[in-house]
Amino acid sequence: PVISEPIPSGNAQITLGSGAALQEAKDYAILMKSGALPISLRSVLVTQVAPTLGTETVRLSLVAGTAGIILILVFMISFYGLMGLVADLALLIYTLLVVGSLVVFRGVLTLPGVAGLILGIGMAVDANIIIYERIKDEMRAGKGIRSALTAGFDRAYITILDSNVTTLIIAGVLSYFGTGAVKGFAVTLTISILVSMFSALVVSRTLLEIWINKSPDRFLTKYGVRG
């Protein structure tokens, strides 16, 4: 701070120069609170300025992520039909579980966190696509829907597990060595990966099995194979 003129009335305004203004302010605040100055100070007004730029960026990221989810839902239904609808339900459950986990652990959804969440959604959709393509391969080979379902999930399991474990290892390294935004991204990504595996391998399979057992005749694929 620079004193440009005398302070006859005892009232003054302190402005910081260029440089690390935030750190200077913190240092002077500590100095004032510790009573190391030869004068007594009294706090008159404290103002907090909201990080409007960061808040707007997070909001726009959430909007973009929501738009992406809607497009994914439409694509899965248009390309995979009934199985795509099941994948969409599993994806919605995945989103609720991830957001619920962040609420339980009191996580703050920052911009890197949004990126981790969206990346997890992509991996969840990818897992469902792998499973469905395996199921279609089994049905092309002449298997019924129940046999194709079991074989498709069993054969896709290793592929999904390998891809997710490698990503989990990377997320673990980032979480251990990273700080701040990097660590937040790694934590959100880890939660997203674990939930996406549960969503694809457990939720999707359970919903498909319930559907097939309840209405096997309605479960026709584009290849004309009945359950």
Q: Which domain holds residue 90?
A: 52-218
What average pLDDT does range 124-151 have in this prediction? Answer: 85
Q: Is residue 17 part of a domain?
A: no
pLDDT of 222 higher than 60: no
In a domain, 146, yes or no: yes
Q: Is residue 85 part of a domain?
A: yes
Residue 134: inside a domain, yes or no? yes
Average pLDDT over residues 110-120: 79
Residue 30, domain member (yes or no) = no
| pLDDT band, residue 169 (cuts 50/70/90) | very high
**Total domain count for the chain?**
1
Q: What is the pLDDT of residue 227?
A: 41
In a domain, 202, yes or no: yes
Q: What is the 3-state secondary structure (H, E, C) of the chain?
A: CCCCCCCCCCCCCCCCCCCCHHHHHHHHHHHHHCCCCCCCCCCCCCCCCCCHHHHHHHHHHHHHHHHHHHHHHHHHHHHHCHHHHHHHHHHHHHHHHHHHHHHHCCCCCCHHHHHHHHHHHHHHHHHHHHHHHHHHHHHHCCCCHHHHHHHHHHHHHHHHHHHHHHHHHHHHHHHHHCCCHHHHHHHHHHHHHHHHHHHHHHHHHHHHHHHHHHCHHHCCCCCCCCC
pLDDT greater than 70 at residue 205: yes
Per the domain annotation, does 20 fall within a domain?
no
86, part of any domain = yes
Instruction: Provide the CATH number for the domain around residue 153.
Output: 1.20.1640.10
pLDDT in tens, 43-90: 777 766 555 556 677 678 778 878 888 888 898 888 887 788 888 898
